[in-house]
Structure 1
Amino acid sequence: MKAFLKHAVALTLLAGVVGCSSTDENEAALPAELVDFTPVMEADVVWDRWAGDGTEGKWLQLKPAVSGDSVFVCDSDGDCYSYDRHTGDKQWHTDVDLRVSGGVGAGNGYVALGTLDGELVVLNAEDGSEAFRKKLTSEILSSPGIKDNLLVAQAQNGHVYGFSLETQEQIWHYDASLPLLSLRGTADPVITDKVTYASFANGKVVALSNDSGSTLWEKRISIPSGKSDLEKLSDVDGTPFVTFDTMYAVGFNGFIRAVDLFSGRTRWQKEFSSYVGPGFGFGQVYLSLDNGHLVALDDRSSSVNWKLEDLSNRRLTKPVTMGNYVIVGDFEGYLHFVSQLSGTFADRIRIDSYGLISDPVVVGDMLYIYSSDGTLAAVKIQEDS
């Protein structure tokens, strides 16, 4: 039977798989205190709403999804909401009465979510009514992906399913062979026009045909090493970032790799470890390392352009970009705005005190974030000075 580490336990390993023994090393693993700086821009919460109870202490990355003029989110108890993404006006609320653990995904008039019991539930985006549901093989910890007529859902046990939204039937299935022990989490499937990219706890990313689910190529991102099962953890839990010709993927205890989308060939690689996906902007790839450092790499040469170490061990979210800034959340509920050019702090705001776990979502000039206590916030950069 497959065993999974609780993410909270896994976080104790992030400063190094082998536990620290000395007092100095233990102190070095403590979260860094926030440093003072002079803001050079202003980021404000445009609106925030209470959207259920969040994750209620569970380590679940329940992120919002945007489609059209609406933003959707579900809490872990199954309360799902739709808001006008510009004004924050509530459009509907529905209770699916399920233990939601993966979600949400939205597109083509639908909202999709997954549960701890392995159920894929699809709602109508217009009113929140249920369109259909499917039983998968294990719990779903990632957001389902929707593009055109295709819905892709990935279960924690390595099974990936493609469904037709038109017929509501399964059209393909892929099964990955996974290790006995892994971090508790799953990267979201990334769907492009013709290909779906799925990431797994075996350290691989696989390119699958949208039409048939057949394997086009697979690439190992992380290579298991060490003597113990803990030291061999090599999950790709962070969702890769895909450009028009390159996929950037990073693994735990592994590498960041730039992979040619068409051939699966590695363009470059660098040894870094992260449990969240990379960001991209200004010709740079951004990484929130598992030790809390924020790194900017040149997207062509892989050279380190800058590194910010002032957020050490603050359990950073996936980095996202908006305007001139790269943005990360942390375990105390702060959003940090950092210059893409210099790697220096530009502003800092607090969403709540319960912490930010899920990936921020940027659409246009607005960032959406769902906090652990159930706050859905829309954030905008107001001005540069």
Structure 2
Amino acid sequence: MLRRIALLAIVLAMAPGCTTVKGWFGGGKVKPNQPAELQKLASPIAVKKLWSISLGDGEDRSWLRLHPVLDSGRLYGVNDEGEVVAIDAATGKRLWVASAVEMKGKRSKLKFWSRETIEAGLTGSPGVGSGLVVVGGRNGEVVALSSDTGEKRWTAKVTSEVVSAPLVLAGRVIVRSNDGRVFGFDVADGSRKWVFDRGVPTLTVRGNGTPVAGNGLVYLGYDDGSVIALREEDGLQVWAQAVAEPDGRTELDRMSDVDGELQLGDQEVFASSYHDKTVALSAANGRPLWSHDVGSYAGLAMLSDKLLLSDKVGNVWALDRATGNPLWKQDALRNRQLTTPVVQGEYAVVGDLDGYLHWLRLDTGVVVGRTRIEHAALRGTPQVSPEGVLFAVSNEGKLSAYQLGN
């Protein structure tokens, strides 16, 4: 039931309001909530597809926002058959495929709201580090595989499904379950070292932001609108800070999840709430440094001078990293259910509900490039390699690689 409520929340989250917007592109009225029509680009930048493969069955309409993870020239992804797939990032060649959890059922795609036919499966993106690929499952399974061979190293269990990617550190694997608990496992053998428990509201955006770590602390965004810092070694809370206070007449109005990607600077943690708030906090003690009244159901991208986000109605924003002041706003992609932005060269890149990737200039926000992976939504955050290659996966499991230039 909680899963269905969360899925319903995602669908409702896509409804930005009841106002009819006129003249976005010089035309007449646009129907409320209708995705903005894509306009032909005058002089688009060159985008080259390097390769494309299928990972297997994708997440379909689950809103898991699955994405591959890049590490040491390899991509690691998951599919809806409970498998982990390792891919050569340069060529798209499969290096190994490993079954992480045993599938005991199969989803019926005719039943949008029903998942009773599935009894197992992977529900989160992989976490990679310390020679391991770690994935989480629908029944609380945590499975660690060798990143070289896919051989299973250890298994563990948490108290509910895992929809966020595990964080793999030198000594710990940090796993967040969907009931608000966070677990610290020994990276070598999977033994549980600690658990942190913090409840979640009745109605949420189904949080799947991956924890981030620095200076011995682990930082997490929570469904109640707060950011929490825990000690990596023993899970003790160091500080908690509200990003956005839940308010409103209904539970939907009060949704204030800090979801998607947090960003960790030298001395700051940057977080964005579904309740229209983005903040910078002191990484040491959680003290607020600045806030701005725009938020996201996804997460943030960070550059040396700015933060990027796509808000819940499809605007893409650039905020000054030092002050939070807006640098630009692009509304040409409204209602297109955008992914978290990523940076490729001099451009921000977002995916949308129709399978398109869009390139925006970092200095102005002008849309200057576009390509389509397939006729299926992009939900997961694209990934960019140190060599500047972008990787994105559709919710039907098609993974493609792109570079800029001919």
TM over 0.5: yes
CA apart distance, 1:11: 3.0
The structure 2 residue matched to 1:367, chosen from 373, 386, 390, is: 390
1:149 to partner: Cα distance: 2.4
Residue 55 (1) aligns with residue 32 (2) = no
**Shift in CA distance, 131/39, structure 1 to aligned 2, threshold 3 Å:** farther
Say if 2:227 is the partner of 1:223. no
Question: Are 1:102 and 1:140, in contact at CA under 8 Å, matched by a contact in 2?
Answer: yes
Shift of 1:282: 5.0
Query: Hey, what's the Cα distance between the residues in 1 that align with 2:19 and 2:31?
Result: 11
Change (3 A) 1:51 1:2: closer
Alpha-carbon contact 2:7-2:62 (below 8 Å) kept: no
- Equivalent of 1:156, from 178, 190, 212? 178
Q: Is the 8 A contact 2:304 2:321 kept in 1?
A: no
When residues 332 and 8 of structure 1 are mapped into structure 2, their CA distance, relative to the original with a 3 A threshold, is farther
1:72 is matched with which residue? 76
Q: Does 1:237 align with 2:241?
A: no
Query: In the alignment, residue 81 of structure 1 is paired with which amino acid?
Result: V
1:31 is matched with which residue: 21, 35, 41? 35
Matched to 1:359, the amino acid is T
Give yes or no for contact 2:127–2:165 (8 Å, CA) kept in 1.
yes
Shift of 1:257: 0.3
8 Å CA contact 2:393–2:399 kept in 1: the answer is yes
- Displaced runs of 4 or more, over 4 A: 1-4, 21-26
Deviation at 1:178, TM superposition (A): 1.8
Q: In structure 2, what is the equivalent of residue 328 of structure 1?
A: 350
* TM-score normalized with structure 1 length: 0.94
Task: Name the CA distance, whole Å, in 2 between partners of 1:221 and 1:3.
Answer: 24
CA contact (8 A) 1:3 1:182 kept: no
The verdict on how the C-alpha distance between 1:39 and 1:147 changes in structure 2, with shifts beyond 3 A counting, is farther
AA of the residue aligned to 2:10: A
Q: Give, in whole Å, the separation in 1 of the partners of 2:161 and 2:190.
A: 20
Structure in which a larger fraction of residues adopt strand: 1
Contact 1:146 1:191 in 2 (8 A): no
Distance 1:374 1:222 in 2: 34
Measured after TM superposition, the shift of residue 79 of structure 1 is: 2.2
1:378 aligned residue? 401
| 1:264 counterpart residue number | 286
Equivalent residue number for residue 248 of structure 1: 270
Residue-by-residue CA offset, 1:68-90 (whole Å, 9 max, x unaligned): 12110001221221011112121
Give distance in 1, aligned partners of 2:8 and 2:47: 30
Match of 1:284 in 2: 306
Q: Report the 3-state secondary structure (helix = DSSP H, G, I; strand = E; otherwise coil) of the residue aligned with 2:10.
A: helix
The Cα of 1:320 is off from its aligned counterpart by 0.8
The residue correspondences of 1:316-355 to structure 2 (distance < 5 A) are 316-355=338-377
Amino acid at match of 1:189: P
Q: Structure 2 unaligned runs (5+)?
A: 23-28, 104-120
Who is 1:123 aligned against? Answer: 145
> Tell me, which stretches of 5 or more residues in structure 1 are unaligned?
none
Deviations 1:201-231 (A, max 9, x none): 1111101111111111111112111111111
Deviation by residue 1:233-266 (Cα, 9 ceiling, x = unmatched): 1111212111222111001113100111112111
What is the distance in 2 between the residues matched to 1:304 and 1:20? 25
Letter in 2 for 1:56: D
Distance in 2 (alpha carbons) for counterparts of 1:106 and 1:286? 24
1:211 aligns with 2:215: no
The answer to whether the Cα contact below 8 Å between 2:392 and 2:399 also exists between their aligned partners in 1 is: yes
Question: Does residue 314 in structure 1 map to residue 318 in structure 2?
Answer: no
Letter in 2 for 1:128: G
The question of 1:89 aligning with 2:56 is answered: no
1:177 aligns to what? 199
Return the alpha-carbon distance in structure 2 between the equivalents of residues 12 and 179 of structure 1.
16
Deviations 1:314-353 (A, max 9, x none): 0000011121111100011111110000111121111111
Find the residue that maps to 1:83 and give its secondary structure.
Answer: strand
Does the CA contact (< 8 Å) of 1:147 and 1:192 recur in 2? no
Q: 1:56: how far off?
A: 3.2
Could you say what secondary structure the match of 1:137 adopts?
A: coil
Amino acid at match of 1:132: W
Paired position in structure 1 for 2:25:
none
Q: 2: CA distance between counterparts of 1:363 and 1:23?
A: 38
TM-score calculated relative to the size of structure 2 = 0.89
Change beyond 3 A, Cα 1:134–1:167: closer
What SS does structure 2 have at the residue aligned with 1:335? strand
| Aligned residue in 1 for 2:113 | none
Change (3 A) 1:14 1:225: farther
Asked if structure 2 preserves the Cα contact closer than 8 Å seen for 1:292 and 1:314, the reply is yes
Q: CA deviation at 1:57?
A: 3.2
Q: Show the counterpart of 2:26.
A: none
The alpha-carbon deviation at position 22 of structure 1 amounts to 8.2
- Corresponding residue number in structure 1 for 2:115: none
Corresponding residue SS for 1:102: coil
